[in-house]
């Protein structure tokens, strides 16, 4: 069944020219939104191992506040978020610190930062030891 479905999808893309259209588009250009405010949150484990990537984050966001946080103590992290009211949050965590339970708890926490029920801050995470040395293409 899976083979039949994948063959059917491939046939539709090929016959309709969708694959060619997707390849014909210009590359996606991205930019860093410098309007902030930014908050860089780093776990103790990540701070020891990801110093190079954290330094690049500081260069990209020189006005960002950097703070260490404990992923097992989200009530304390909530106090930081309420005090700082960031628009963007960059989390540096080790892969073993980031799991589905943390993700759901973090998402819930980000809905509790103001009066509306929507997520109040955009979050990005990094589990990279070193930043990329060449741009994505």
pLDDT one-digit tens code per residue, 55-96: 988 998 899 999 999 999 999 999 999 999 999 999 999 999
* Residue 106 pLDDT exceeds 90: yes
pLDDT of residue 137: 42
**Is 24 inside a domain boundary?**
no
Find the domain containing 63 and state its range. 38-126
| Section 18-33 average pLDDT | 67
CA distance linking residue 129 with residue 106, whole number of Å: 22
> Which token pair is 110?
């980000």
> Which token pair is 28?
């996606």
**Is 79 inside a domain boundary?**
yes
CA distance linking residue 29 with residue 72, whole number of Å: 36
pLDDT of residue 19: 52
**Is 133 inside a domain boundary?**
no
pLDDT of residue 76: 96
- Which CATH number do you get for residue 117? 3.40.50
Strands 65-68 and 122-126 come out as unpaired
* Residue 2 pLDDT exceeds 60: no
| Residue 5: pLDDT band with limits 50, 70, 90 | very low
Out of 13-22, 91-100, 115-124, the most confident range is 91-100
Question: What predicted TM-score, i.e. pTM, was given to this entire model?
Answer: 0.69
**Is 98 inside a domain boundary?**
yes
| Section 96-117 average pLDDT | 92
**Is 97 inside a domain boundary?**
yes
**Is 28 inside a domain boundary?**
no
**Is 5 inside a domain boundary?**
no
Overall domain count for the chain: 1
**Is 6 inside a domain boundary?**
no
Distance (Å) of CA 41 to CA 22, 67, 86, 126, 132? 37, 5, 11, 10, 20
């Amino acid at each position: 069944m899976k083979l039949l479905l994948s063959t059917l999808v491939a046939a539709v893309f090929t016959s309709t020219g969708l694959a060619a259209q997707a390849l014909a588009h210009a590359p996606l250009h991205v930019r860093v939104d410098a309007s902030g405010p930014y908050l860089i949150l780093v776990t103790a484990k990540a701070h020891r191992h990801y110093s190079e990537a954290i330094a690049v984050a500081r260069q990209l966001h020189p006005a960002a506040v950097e703070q260490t946080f404990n992923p097992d103590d989200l009530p304390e992290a909530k106090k930081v978020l309420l005090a700082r009211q960031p628009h963007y949050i960059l989390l540096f965590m080790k892969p073993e610190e980031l799991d589905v339970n943390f993700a759901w708890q973090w998402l819930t926490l980000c809905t509790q930062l103001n009066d509306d029920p929507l997520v109040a801050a955009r979050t990005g995470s990094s589990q990279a030891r070193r930043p990329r040395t060449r741009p994505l293409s």
